[in-house]
Structure 1
Amino acid sequence: MTIKKVISACLMLTCLITGLSGCGKTDQVSDTAERSVIKLGSDSYPPYNYLNEDGVPTGIDVELATEAFGRMGYDVEIVNIDWEKKQELVENGDIDCIMGCFSMKGRLDDYKWAGPYMVSNQVVAVNENSDIYTLSDLEGKTLAVQSTTKPEGIFLKRTDSRIPKLGNLISLEHRELIYTFLGKGYADAIGAHEESVIQYMKDYDAKFRILDEPLMTVGIGVAFSKNETRDLPEKLEQTLDEMREDGTSEKIIGKYLDDPEKYLEVDQLEEE
């Protein structure tokens, strides 16, 4: 009888341990299964978002978003979009937000925003041997930009007295083409984010020169639909602020850009 009791007790203990272990695993799977996915829309825009050698999305915005949304309890899916259709896609719910070095200035009423989380200069770049040194030298010249970007609006509207009348403004759907047009001489200059121009020169050993005078200094943010009912914009902005304060953002940006701290001086931006 004593041996039977010992065997019975052992069996009961084994079942109890197995049951507790199984219960822990079930909870873990459940937590993972309940983790929602944020669909982040962006086009290819190095160093903010691009595919690495293994075809995996990487870049400043990819890493910042993955970290920030991860802290909020979400996974991130990077969706490559037609940049011209970004507002339509986010309003229709095809993506949850737009994050691709996206300037907030002049667009505050178009979206719900989280940010600004970084500072960026919109600049003009020319070929190294160009005789264009100032914005006024662009008078009568041909400038190439990516369509629906801030430089396009600056030269179309010309609300800034520093902006001269161009001879021709070429708006191209794909970012890479503006550099081809400049290199081939189809355009005298291009307008783009400074970081994008620097990255292109690094990647392709291109010899461009960035004008000293920027077109505009802007804050970049994450855009959500105006109809967004979740508190994602507010929570994301708070999380990005925390990442800036604890040094995470500077560490991520430093992988891609020199002097990363200067891109985090968002408190010095004027009201958008």
Structure 2
Amino acid sequence: MKGKRVIAGILLAGILAVTLTGCKNTDNGKKETEKPVITLGSDNYPPYNYLNEDGVPTGIDVELATEAFKRMGYQVEVVQINWEKKKELVESGEIDCIMGCFSMEGRLDDYRWAGPYIASRQVAAVNENSDIYKLSDLEGKNLAVQSTTKPQGIFLKRTDERIPKLGNLISLGHRELIYTFLGKGYVDAVGAHEESVIQYMKDYDTSFRILEEPLMVVGIGVAFAKDDDRGICEQMNQMLEDMRQDGTSLKIIEKYLDNPEKYLEVDDLGY
């Protein structure tokens, strides 16, 4: 009888040990996955943010954000947003920040910024057989832009004397549409980030000619709500600078763009 009690005691101890071990592993698993989530809003804008063949967000900004926030102790959820409503989305708290090849120029007072972390040329592009070769040749012509982007503001405000008066400025909701309009001859030119034009030509095996003189050289940043006082923006700003200095940003950018070094020349942008 005594022997049976001993055996039962050993079995019970073994069961408890397995149970406790299982609980411990589960708790560790939770701790590893329960990092606070940062919701990053962007639109489809290759090569900065787009869905790969498996429907997973990827691109320059997705990789930079994932690494930066990981170093800060966060995990990132990238969500596709209506780009025209980005400001109200970040101000309402529906998203934590905006990161999608987002120009800081002219918007410094609208948001709290981390960056610039990339330098980008805003350019005009035309069909290869076009007789437009310089910005002044755009006088009286029709040009398409994605709505609420920097090129729209450049041509609407015309604060730079180099920017001519257009015949018509056509603002479209989606990036791909501006290139469709250009390819079909509905417009004479488009205005966009140089990287966007290059990526579109690669993706769709088509050729446009980018005018040599840029519309503007701008800094790309991460935008938080103006009243966001959590300190995340300031941490992100430092982390992106650390990544630029330690070579991480260069390794990411060179996966997507040729001559990646030029995109990291942000020190003289004046922000």
Range class of TM-score, shorter chain: over 0.9
Distance 1:8 1:246, change over 3 A: farther
Identity %: 74
- The 5-angstrom pairing of residues 169-180 of structure 1 reads 169-180=169-180
**3-state secondary structure, aligned to 1:101:** coil
Distance 1:132 1:118, change over 3 A: same
Q: Deviations over 1:72-94 (max 9, x none)?
A: 11111111111000001000111
* TM-score (ref. length: structure 2): 0.92
Residues 1:49 and 2:49 aligned together: yes
Structure 2 match to 1:208: 208
User: Which one-letter code corresponds to 1:208 in the other structure?
Assistant: F
Structure 2 match to 1:115: 115
Structure 2 match to 1:233: 233
Cα distance in 2, alignment partners of residues 14 and 260 from structure 1: 59
- The 5-angstrom pairing of residues 155-174 of structure 1 reads 155-174=155-174
Count the aligned residue pairs.
271
**3-state secondary structure, aligned to 2:100:** strand
Cα distance in 2, alignment partners of residues 178 and 86 from structure 1: 20
TM-aligned CA deviation for residue 22 of structure 1:
4.6
Q: Deviations over 1:19-48 (max 9, x none)?
A: 874565244233135311111100100000
TM-aligned CA deviation for residue 16 of structure 1:
9.2
Structure 2 match to 1:28: 28
**3-state secondary structure, aligned to 2:102:** strand
Structure 1 match to 2:145: 145
Cα distance in 1, alignment partners of residues 251 and 9 from structure 2: 56
* TM-score (ref. length: structure 1): 0.92
Cα distance in 1, alignment partners of residues 33 and 128 from structure 2: 54
- The 5-angstrom pairing of residues 4-19 of structure 1 reads none
Structure 2 match to 1:63: 63
**3-state secondary structure, aligned to 2:116:** strand
Structure 1 match to 2:249: 249
Cα distance in 2, alignment partners of residues 212 and 109 from structure 1: 30
Cα distance in 2, alignment partners of residues 236 and 16 from structure 1: 45
Structure 1 outlier segments of 4+, above 4 Å: 6-24
Structure 1 match to 2:263: 263
User: Which one-letter code corresponds to 2:142 in the other structure?
Assistant: T
Q: Which runs of 5+ in 2 are unaligned?
A: none
Cα distance in 2, alignment partners of residues 69 and 152 from structure 1: 31
Cα distance in 1, alignment partners of residues 17 and 68 from structure 2: 37
Cα distance in 1, alignment partners of residues 246 and 17 from structure 2: 41
Considering only aligned residues, what root-mean-square deviation do their CA atoms show, in Å? 2.2
